[in-house]
Amino acid sequence: MTTTLVTNIATLVTNDPAAGEGPLGLVQDAAVVMDGDTVAWAGPAAHAPAADTAYDAAGRAVVPGFVDSHSHLVFAGDRTAEFNARMSGRAYSAGGIRTTVAATRAATDAELEANLTRYLDEALRQGTTTFETKSGYGLTVEDEARALRIAARHTDEVTYLGAHVVSPDYADDPAAYVALVTGEMLDACAPYARWVDVFCEKGAFDGDQARAVLTAGKAKGLTPRVHANQLSYGPGVRLAVELDAASADHCTHLTPDDVDALASGNTVATLLPGAEFSTRAEWPDARRLLDAGVTVALSTDCNPGSSFTSSMAFCIALAVRDMGMTPDEALWSATAGGAAALRRTDIGRIAPGARADLALLDAPSHVHLAYRPGVPLVSAVWRRGVQVVS
Ligand SMILES: [Zn+2]
């Protein structure tokens, strides 16, 4: 196994409070040693052990690779016109998903995989070393299963979202669609998925339907995550906590009871500011959640309809500017928070034993991710100890 020393790091974010200052475990004038695909050592450069090869970070910052715990990247088609219309004054509704469903069903496997790969490469160049992605644009047994089969070739974090919207084929009989999602479709999809998800929202699935979907998924060994309280108040967040979902995603419209439930449970609140940006909607209140003691993750929600960004740095900037997060909190939520939302301890931190996923910023500290919005600061990326962006 080859060891690599990354040294002359101005600011290192470890997310290991034992290793440095504050919750981010910040170390100034730092170094990291990678042994194969794993972090072997992190700390002050003056104390770094010897390694086979060395990389000079030249006074720049190193952060854990971003963990994007919510995306929808198995799709085809384009919704530029819908975005353009919306930015000209039309309100967003969940129905736009059906446009992507039609295009996705018509695409070949090769076209879907090429599209997925393109956006994964785009995300990797921006420092995302772990991503979750979902089905949800097929809405037939075969189309949902193939989306997950394709996704599973590229990540372990695959989510079955047959319950994205009621299939247009079942517009007159939503109950029959829920029966399909919890029956034959689940059987076909479960072998490729780790997670089960549902869009619990007016116009999508109500609380009882969402409970049926998540419960059936759990019985098949999948762990729940929920699209909850995005467009309106509703039962999604409390259902997520009750069913011990790993994450309640969006959390834009929360009652005090919803916040209390999140604070008392094991469910991470994953905030997706790209969606509010791209739909000109009200921001989720990250400050309120953090002050209540809720674990908060940030993610892109990258999808062609409501949030077509793969940039975690952009989400960090929005969270700091408009959602009340400090730059430190936003960085934590985009790395360790995303790992928590995926119930992973091997990613989202730079500490001995963790996966060697690092992003080098062309800046002296992680604060620049919010301070310099829209600037492509990620200048090198290591994934599993291999430099994949330089
Ligand atoms: Zn989503």
Average pLDDT score over residue span 37-62: 98
Average pLDDT score over residue span 28-41: 98
Q: How far is the CA of 272 from the centre of ligand 1 (A)?
A: 8
Q: How far is the CA of 184 from the centre of ligand 1 (A)?
A: 23
Is 230 marked as a binding-site residue? yes
Q: How far is the CA of 7 from the centre of ligand 1 (A)?
A: 38
Is 137 marked as a binding-site residue? yes
Of 371, 292, 362, the C-alpha closest to 331 is: 371
Q: How far is the CA of 72 from the centre of ligand 1 (A)?
A: 6
What is the C-alpha to C-alpha distance for residues 349 and 13, in angstroms, rounded to an integer? 8
Is 301 marked as a binding-site residue? yes
Is 154 marked as a binding-site residue? no
DSSP secondary structure letter of residue 191 = G
The answer for residues whose C-beta is within 8 angstroms of residue 101's C-beta and 6 or more apart is 137, 138, 139, 165, 167, 168
Query: Which tens digit of pLDDT belongs to each residue from 263-273?
Result: 999 999 999 99
Q: Is pLDDT of 170 > 60?
A: yes
Q: How far is the CA of 46 from the centre of ligand 1 (A)?
A: 44
Is 303 marked as a binding-site residue? yes
Given pLDDT bands bounded at 50, 70 and 90, which one contains residue 94?
Answer: very low
What is the C-alpha to C-alpha distance for residues 229 and 256, in angstroms, rounded to an integer? 13
Q: Is pLDDT of 30 > 90?
A: yes
Is 177 marked as a binding-site residue? no
Output the CA–CA distances (angstroms, integers) from residue 278 to 91, 134, 161, 318, in the order listed: 11, 20, 22, 12
Is 47 marked as a binding-site residue? no
Q: How far is the CA of 337 from the centre of ligand 1 (A)?
A: 17
Q: Is pLDDT of 92 > 60?
A: no
Q: How far is the CA of 301 from the centre of ligand 1 (A)?
A: 5
Is 306 marked as a binding-site residue? yes
R_g of the chain, CA atoms, integer Å: 20
What is the C-alpha to C-alpha distance for residues 262 and 170, in angstroms, rounded to an integer? 33
In a 13 Å sphere around the CA of 176, the CA atoms on its Cβ side amount to 8
Q: How far is the CA of 47 from the centre of ligand 1 (A)?
A: 44
Q: How far is the CA of 181 from the centre of ligand 1 (A)?
A: 18
Q: How far is the CA of 175 from the centre of ligand 1 (A)?
A: 22
Is 253 marked as a binding-site residue? no
Q: Is pLDDT of 81 > 50?
A: yes
**What's at 153, amino acid-wise?**
R
What is the C-alpha to C-alpha distance for residues 224 and 344, in angstroms, rounded to an integer? 15
DSSP secondary structure letter of residue 319 = H
Query: Which tens digit of pLDDT belongs to each residue from 318-336?
Result: 999 999 999 999 999 999 9
3-class DSSP string for 7-53 = EEEEEECCCCCCCCECCCCEEEEEEEEEECCEEEEEEEHHHCCCCCE
Give the CA angle between residues 327, 268, 27 to the nearest 5°: 35
